[in-house]
Amino acid sequence: MATNTSMHVIKNEDPVIATESLANDSLAKEYFDKKQKLDEYFASGATQSLSWRKRQLKAVLSLLITEEKAISEALHSDLKKSQEEAYITEIGYLRKDVKYLLKHVEKWMKPKRVGTPLLAMPAKSIIRPEPLGTCLVIGAWNYPFQLAISPMLAAISAGNCVILKPSDLAPATSALIAKLLPKYLDMNAVAIIEGGKEETTELLTLNFDKIFFTGGEYVGKIVMKAAAKHLTPVTLELGGKSPCIIDKNVDLAIALNRMVWGKLINVGQTCIAPDYLMVHQSNLDNVVAELKKVLEKQYGKNPETNKFYGRIVDENHCARLVSYLDNQNVIFGGKHNIKDKYLSPTIVLNPDNNSPLMQEEIFGPIIPIISFSGRSDMLKFITARAKPLAAYVFTEDKEFEEKFIERVSAGSVCVNDTALFWVNPNAPVGGVGTSGMGRYHGKFGFDTFSHEKSILKRNFSFENSIRYMPLNKFKTWIFKRFLR
């Protein structure tokens, strides 16, 4: 744990030193003090017991049930999310999440007996997960409630203290988190710090035991650089351009309904949303025609007035998305109102690979379609790019499916659907390469916030002096028999 009791840590965490390069002395002092209180509470051992962990998890479950309306309203205010979508993708998701943790945490906490080699016998070997200490959780704005609370739950289930920094771009949700958590949680173990760049920069000067960051690659690098100063372990849940392949001979109505669902939920502002489509040349016209049909079926002729079509988070992001359409072949949609943060579902045909639309993560309702004529060229196109958070393939060809899974390195791969893997607590969620490092969900989240301490226990009943100095020919002969 990064307590403030060792000389080394005091030096690193001294707020005066920390503020040398920073503008705001009072923030530095406030954050330093908050973290110190959490460190002291952690050092008291209060967060270690199963009963404490379960009490906190149950309190969050009760928050999710009691405060459903307030959460839903905050999400509507930030992203114009419908009540139904807010429930499915944030509140309901978290209810499942916390129940899963409650069900399994006792088992995960238990020390595990492992084998011991003959050389160290007689002895018992044990692996025992221990909490890391005080962890910083930084949330993103697109699922601003889920992506702040879910990692915090994982940290608490593993027995840690947490400073939670929700995203400033979802101000209503951030304020609600800051208001609600103190009503339910043991605030000796949790602190909420609201704010954006300035506040996060200040927080990152502190010596945490773990930083769990959800956001973009750019800030991810800032986080990792700051963490390196203290050798703090980081989990970076980032994004990227997730490809989606529509192979020949698939049922287009099913495939495109599934694709549109994953792409347009939350108006495309989903880290694992399919970013661009790759469609076999022979199928291009059919795909375009079916896609237009599906878009109208799911969102109507005028998505602007459809309550299930939310808004882009702010005008800057909306203007960024609209600018992606410059000089592109827009064959569907493209209607926008930046003041209202609105951009309709939009299809762009064969965009230039060097255009911002194909160079940056879209994170919005634009669907670029790229046609390909040979599967191996298509695979080359994908593998030449940064490793994505997710990769999707719609195909009925098992051989090609296997080749795709083998060749395309991605955080997760999903065959014949999109985004659904997120809800499976039995499999990890996390990126690879520039789409992130580390993972969470279910036991993987518990492990992310734990250290697996290895313990070797012996007693005094048997003494073998063979390893003691001085070594001799006989002892060396014995060792050579064991160590080969």
Residue positions annotated with a catalytic role? 237, 271
> Considering the complex, what minimum distance in angstroms separates the CB of residue 429 from ligand NAD?
6
Q: Which of 436, 438, 442, 445 binds ligand NAD (CB under 6 A)?
A: 436
**Alpha-carbon distance 445 to 150, whole Å?**
9
> Considering the complex, what minimum distance in angstroms separates the CB of residue 377 from ligand NAD?
27
| Residue 232 in the binding site for ligand NAD (CB under 6 A) | no
| Residue 239 in the binding site for ligand NAD (CB under 6 A) | yes
| Residue 214 in the binding site for ligand NAD (CB under 6 A) | yes
- Using CB under 6 A, which residues numbered 245 to 274 contact ligand NAD? 271
Q: Which of 153, 250, 389, 414 binds ligand NAD (CB under 6 A)?
A: 389
| Residue 201 in the binding site for ligand NAD (CB under 6 A) | yes
* CB-based contact 392:242 (threshold 8 Å): yes
**Alpha-carbon distance 179 to 192, whole Å?**
9
Neighbours of 304 (CB within 10 A): 15
Name the nearest CA neighbour of 233 among 243, 224, 241, 221: 224
| Residue 139 in the binding site for ligand NAD (CB under 6 A) | yes
Run of H or E residues at 157:
helix 146-157
What radius of gyration, in Å, describes the C-alpha atoms of the chain?
26
- The H-assigned helical ranges of 160-216 are 171-184, 197-203
- Judged by beta carbon, residue 168 or residue 186, the one nearer ligand NAD is 168
Structure tokens that stand for 34 in this block: 């908050």
> Considering the complex, what minimum distance in angstroms separates the CB of residue 286 from ligand NAD?
30
> Considering the complex, what minimum distance in angstroms separates the CB of residue 148 from ligand NAD?
9
Q: Which of 91, 136, 138, 181 binds ligand NAD (CB under 6 A)?
A: 138
> Considering the complex, what minimum distance in angstroms separates the CB of residue 206 from ligand NAD?
13
> Considering the complex, what minimum distance in angstroms separates the CB of residue 332 from ligand NAD?
24
| Residue 101 in the binding site for ligand NAD (CB under 6 A) | no
Q: Which of 141, 342, 392, 394 binds ligand NAD (CB under 6 A)?
A: 141
Return the sign of the alpha-carbon dihedral for residues 71, 72, 78, 84.
positive
| Residue 219 in the binding site for ligand NAD (CB under 6 A) | yes
Cα separation values, 76 from 81, 145, 242, Å? 5, 12, 27
**Alpha-carbon distance 463 to 461, whole Å?**
7
Structure tokens that stand for 14 in this block: 């001294």
**Contacting range for ligand NAD; rule: CB under 6 A; set: 83-91, 132-140, 328-336, 455-463:** 132-140
Q: Give 359's contacts (C-beta < 8 A, 6+ positions apart).
A: none
> Considering the complex, what minimum distance in angstroms separates the CB of residue 142 from ligand NAD?
5
- Judged by beta carbon, residue 30 or residue 168, the one nearer ligand NAD is 168
- Using CB under 6 A, which residues numbered 145 to 184 contact ligand NAD? 147, 165, 167-169
Strand (E) positions, 99-219?
112-114, 124-131, 134-138, 161-165, 190-192, 210-214
| Residue 222 in the binding site for ligand NAD (CB under 6 A) | yes
Q: Give 160's contacts (C-beta < 8 A, 6+ positions apart).
A: 42, 47, 131, 132, 133, 134, 135, 189, 209, 210, 449
- By beta carbon distance, the residue nearest ligand NAD is 239
Binding residues (CB under 6 A) for ligand NAD: these are: 138-142, 147, 165, 167-169, 196-197, 200-201, 214-216, 219, 222, 237-239, 271, 361, 363, 389, 431, 436
